[in-house]
Amino acid sequence: MAQTVRETARDGLPKGFRGAELGWPELHRIPHPPYRLPLLGDVVGASRRTPMQDSLRYARRLGPIFRRRAFGKEFVFVWGASLAADLADETRFAKHVGLGVANLRPVAGDGLFTAYNHEPNWQLAHDVLAPGFSREAMAGYHVMMLDVAARLTGQWDLAEAAGRTVDVPGDMTKLTLETIARTGFGHDFGSFERPRLHPFVTAMVGTLGYAQRLNTVPAPLAPWLLRDASRRNAADIAYLNRTVDELVRARRAAGGTGGGSGSGTGDLLDRMLATAHPETGERLSPENVRRQVITFLVAGHETTSGALSFALHYLARHPEIAARARAEVDRVWGDTEAPGYEQVARLRYVRRVLDESLRLWPTAPGFAREAREDTVLGGTYPMRRGAWALVLTGMLHRDPEVWGPDAERFDPDRFDAKAVRARAPHTFKPFGTGARACIGRQFALHEATLVLGLLLRRYDLRPDPGYRLRVTERLTLMPEGLRLRLDRRAPASPAPAARTGDAGTAREEGAGNAGSASRCPVHRAGE
């Protein structure tokens, strides 16, 4: 029954729809926007380009649980902290693959992000790849992260010397793509040597955008309305597949030695090709290896580039916060040219800046949860087995009952140790929740904290006074048109190292301080 409900919810509603067919027997009790139109649904005042930001606006008007209907599809959104915490209960709820995520299955199949819960390759891949995010592995990636960051600063030095602005989202995308490609797969896309983004990024953005567009048109009309877009999407998928197939072919020809011995102790690709499951002895099939590589290349850079871009926007707009973060970098790193792995974990205020940016603009703006069995959400809303809801993360992170009446204000001190301890669990969820939470979140957090520290130490960031934050949606969120001016700073003078007992070490559910990387991050990613 769960599979039937899942497919119905994703692909559209049958004739004679009733809420019970989505697994919500009392759907009528959940509010929806006014001016609902027959057939079209809740489209008055809505934009096809910004469905998630539209949902944030509806959330403020309709409350902690609401529904939207578009072209015969009904979606239930949840953002109230108590309801979201209930959905985080792994004994009653699991990940639901729906909305745009399911639309990515033609390219990512049963990869870690897009696999259905009943598909066995998810657990197999997770168990094989989890050691690739251990503390030991992360320390090995750190050196390559520094190398890629040096390529970024080389480009930014040239822009600063010439008085040019820098394209923040574009350059952060180059940085994070090269980082995951180098650390995970021993591959160099040459992004910084190209005048434009690598075709892999163009194809990736195309597939993400197409997946979102599928949710904004009536399913029966999609083949006609999106005919040209569908052809482009097929070409984009073919390009992604060819690129990854060539990458894997080169690794096999080299004997499978990208970052280690080829016995499964090297980089992520080595593990995919050479490591058997420790209990069952199973290995990933060639097709699944391709899907996992695409998943990591896409998810491993798209969300991190967005997080860095939002953080740099806020640092440029709040010079007093940037000065405080920069003082920490100077104090902790001193005149060390290449900070060590452990030194990044000690940038506790920089990490708060990153967390606060992820609070206001979680680059993965929602995650869906489905009922394992018949249950009642929050003691109020009955759900049948397979019924699902989308947790609207950007609004959960703005719940005034949790974050206060000034929840829209950028304030990194919301993530100091005392504030984190005072908050209820499951109120900060930029990486999802449960067993299917992002396996690479500590990788992303270490990379982003390192890069912010390097850029703050090297540059003063100056915003365009006329710029107002605009957010583009392609399943993930990214600032649109963000450019900054740079002023090169004089080298920092040596300063005393920070005390290791800084009060910023406590963190909610491992989603806080970068110092949590000193423990194995893999288990924490599944909490």
Rounded distance between C-alpha atoms, residue 339 and residue 353, angstroms? 19
**Residues contacting residue 136 through CB under 8 Å, at least 6 positions apart:** none
Residue pair 363/430 in contact by the 8 Å Cβ criterion:
yes
Rounded distance between C-alpha atoms, residue 407 and residue 421, angstroms? 18
β-strand pairing of 388-392 with 73-78: parallel
**Residues contacting residue 234 through CB under 8 Å, at least 6 positions apart:** none
**Residues contacting residue 242 through CB under 8 Å, at least 6 positions apart:** none
Helices (H), 285-399: 286-317, 319-333, 341-345, 348-360, 393-396
Q: How many CB atoms lie within 10 A of CB 90?
A: 15
Nearest to 503 by CA among 410, 415, 426, 412: 415
Known catalytic membership, residue 438:
yes
Known catalytic membership, residue 303:
yes
Rounded distance between C-alpha atoms, residue 222 and residue 449, angstroms? 42
Residue pair 403/397 in contact by the 8 Å Cβ criterion:
yes
3-state secondary structure of 188: coil
Gyration radius of the chain over CA positions: 23
| Cα–Cα distances in angstroms (integers) from residue 464 to residues 168, 181, 301, 417, 469, in the given order | 12, 32, 26, 33, 11
- Set 243, 431, 433, 449: catalytic member: 431
- Set 114, 303, 433, 449: catalytic member: 303
Rounded distance between C-alpha atoms, residue 395 and residue 60, angstroms? 8
Q: Work out the burial of residue 115: count CB atoms within 10 Å of its CB; fewer than 13 is exposed, 13-18 middle, 19 or more buried.
A: buried
Rounded distance between C-alpha atoms, residue 199 and residue 240, angstroms? 9
Q: Which residues of 425-440 are buried (b: 16+ CB within 10 A; e: fewer)?
A: ebbbbbbbbbebbbbb
**Residues contacting residue 451 through CB under 8 Å, at least 6 positions apart:** 145, 149, 152, 175, 308
Rounded distance between C-alpha atoms, residue 450 and residue 442, angstroms? 12
- Set 438, 443, 449, 476: catalytic member: 438
Q: How many CB atoms lie within 10 A of CB 305?
A: 26
For the chain, report the end-to-end CA distance as a whole number of angstroms: 27
Residues forming the active site: 303, 431, 438
